[in-house]
Structure 1
Amino acid sequence: MRVRGERECRECGRHWSYFETGSVECPTCGSLHSVGTGDREAHTDAPVDLDLREHRQRFGETTSVLPTDGVTDLKRDLRAYVHKRGFVHAGELTELDATYLAARELLEAVDVYDRLRQPTADDQAYLLDLLAGADGGDRPRTAEVPTTMRSARGMATALAVETYREALATYLAESTADTDASRRTSAFGHTDASGHTDASGHTDAPNGFPQRREEPSTVSASQSREGESLQHVQLDRLRERLRDRTNQILALQGDVDPSVADELVRATRAIYAAVTTGDEDALDRANAHLDDAAPIS
């Protein structure tokens, strides 16, 4: 959704960033009477922290069976975190980060562990290692994932990547709309701080004399549009491949080699690099990672 990121309190006049607080309540006087200012920006994220210290204390003495109350509370907090998180912040695309992935994996791992009839020491160590580092974005290494827990990493990764893919679609749609609007504005004149440009492309400069706005050459503008179009086609294909890979892993209930899940994450981050930096090599890297993300059960 698009929101105005800056707000002004009608009671005390305080200005604050909605992007930082996620609330229309004035941080100074607590009034709910505020007005949005500035331009609207695409925004799907919310300010939320993941704090697992209380849960670590509760599960520290776990031997085999997890305490029911503890499981319920832990899953509640993990769900609240992942549901509030998004990957478009104040109009900018953000990366699929390690803390989000770890929270997703811990949520899946608790379910898997709870269903095991006879959890092993490795299963327990894996779960507690996740709990120990998830809020800092740390997860057990790929080689340390027990066979019984493969599905937790696979499902968590597929669900995280699918959520990211949806955010990417939102971001690209908003970016395309902004670009189209900018081009329409350019076609009918341009306004800046120095004066007004009419439909003919003349600018009324501060001294009152019209100045012709310099236009880029038709050839370079055309080439630029062709380049943008080609990149959009490549991104669309990558998004389709990303969707196919996630669907394949979900169909297998996440039971894939953990290295496959890792390649899916690498592909997603390469796409992020391509979108945010224009790095064409990143598109090739994303395709290569998706090739290696083919699930083999």
Structure 2
Amino acid sequence: MKIRGERECQSCGARWSYYETGSITCPECGSVRSVGVDERTEHTDNPADLDLASIADDLDAEPIDRVAERAVEECRAYVRQRGFVRGGDLRPIDSTFVAAVELRYVAGELARSMRVDEDEQLYFLSLLRGAADGQRPDPADVPESLVAARGLAVAAVIDAYRRDLTRYLSDHPDPEARTTMGRFVDHRKRIEALDGSVPVDDAETILQGLIELGEYAATGDQSALASARDRLDALEEGVNSR
């Protein structure tokens, strides 16, 4: 949505940026009475911390389904605060956001499972310990039972980015970005139609291509756009030949 991000406190006169704090509360006196002093700009990305350390520490003391439920809640709250437009500027897709979305889906799957095997637990633990730093396990390490969760996570990232890119392009038209985004939306629909059960390497190719599209849209890097399209061309050729 569009907001006035530069705030002025009506109690003490202090000024601050809502884009940086995500709060209308004055950082100087604590008053909540403030007004915007700039033009309205698109803004969807608020400051947020992904705090998973305490959840990981309790893995030995609590049942894994309860730990997984807590991870889902933390990731959901984090993703809800995050976006890709800050103060009118489009931002690339960052690795912590991607990891948080994947952890939410993987943890949700384990929270519902009647039995969690060792491979699933190790994968979950790797995500839990690495997501805050944007680290995700390699595609080769995904247990067969979690392939769909990883695929659905990629679909969710596509949808989240599409929403913000659409908002941004309404003020900054870019036919190349819009057309290429449409191709990723088609892949998102295919993933969802298959309930996430697409080859892990395909899902990763789509994700890396989306990240490159995000780099192009945010910075104008033509080589990133070309690489994203090349990934899609190769993937679609392979899918059509199967």
Match of 1:120 in 2: 117
Q: Which residue of 1 aligns with 2:76?
A: 79
Amino acid corresponding to residue 44 of structure 1 in structure 2 = T
TM-score where L is the length of structure 1: 0.75
Q: Measure, in 2, the Cα distance between the counterparts of 1:31 and 1:164.
A: 34
Any conservation in 1 of the 2:69–2:108 contact (CA below 8 Å)?
no
Match for 1:17: what amino acid? S
Partner amino acid for 1:265? L
Distance, in Å, in 1 between the alignment partners of 2:71 and 2:205 is 28
1:156 aligns with 2:98: no
Q: Is the 8 A contact 2:92 2:218 kept in 1?
A: no
Deviation at 1:117, TM superposition (A): 4.0
**Which residue among 103, 106, 121 is the counterpart of 1:106?**
103
**TM-score normalised to the size of structure 2?**
0.91
Determine the structure 1 residue equivalent to 2:186.
244
How many residues matched? Answer: 239
Larger Cα Rg: Structure 1 or Structure 2?
A: 1
Find the counterpart in structure 2 of residue 22 from structure 1.
22
State the Cα distance separating 1:15 from its structure 2 match: 0.9
Match of 2:51 in 1: 51
**2:133 corresponding residue in structure 1:** 136
Residue 66 of structure 1 corresponds to 64
**For residues 90 and 56 of structure 1, what CA distance do their matches in structure 2 show?**
34
Q: Deviations over 1:39-98 (max 9, x none)?
A: 322111111110111101111356xx5243x34333221111111110001111111111
Is 1:269 matched with 2:211? yes
Distance 1:235 1:67, change over 3 A: closer
Matched residue of 1:7: which SS? strand
> Distance in 2 between the 1:113 and 1:67 partners?
6
Residue aligning to 2:3? 3
Q: Matched residues in 2 for 1:34 and 1:105: separation?
A: 37
Letter in 2 for 1:14: A
Structure 1, 271-280 or 42-51: larger mean CA deviation = 271-280
Deviations 1:6-65 (A, max 9, x none): 111111111111101111111111111111112322111111110111101111356xx5
Cα distance in 1 for residues equivalent to 2:70 and 2:121:
19
Structure 2, unaligned runs of 5 or more: none
1:293 Cα deviation after fit: 4.4
CA RMSD of aligned residues (A): 2.0
